[in-house]
Amino acid sequence: MPRVLAVCVVHQLRPDSGFVGVTGIDKRPVTGAVHAGRYGLRGDVQASRKHHGGLDKAVYAYAQEDARFWEEQLGRELPPGWFGENLRVDGLDVNAARIGEVWRIGETVEVEVTMPRTPCSTFARWVGGAEARGWVRRFAQERRLGPYLRVRRVGAIRAGDPIEVLSVPEGAPSIRDVFRAPG
């Protein structure tokens, strides 16, 4: 059964050369239960609320299977939170998830898949090193993006929680289908 490997929230706001001047991409796993509210996880912060957060981008999920792919590509370990994700999940193809698909996480939390993550220059700067140049295009072209989630039913989430797909809208496009990689 699919499950949550880690629940991650912002470790600290970091200086960033982007237009906001700081970034909340530095997410780290936390122990114990974390409250998932309508606007995201307790303890998490989005520095650029124009592009992140809000009801439709309350939580960001990334698959362990996709993280392993990038570990092989980059030749380094990419721990939970490295992609800026709130949830590192295992056993669920999050990029095949359909827009409007509903998941139950743990006993009470229900989330709805809303849209794919769009990689940005902040993410490229976070990656750093030689990989930073061309990172946005490379990440986008692989289409291992992960979905943003709307919290439909609030409650606690913790590492180890099972994820159950409750409903899949017939004919709805997948996260992979919706995203258009740059030319």
pLDDT at res. 175:
96
What is the pTM for the complete model shown?
A: 0.92
- CATH 2.40.33.20 for domain 3-178, yes or no, is yes
Confidence grade of residue 13 (pLDDT, cut at 50, 70, 90): low
Segment 27-49 shows an average pLDDT of 88
Q: Average pLDDT of 136-158?
A: 95
Split at pLDDT 50, 70, 90, the class of 122 is: confident
Give the C-alpha separation, 28 to 79, whole Å: 8
- Buried b / exposed e over 102-127, threshold 16 CB at 10 Å, is bbbbbeebbbbbbbbbebbebbbbbb
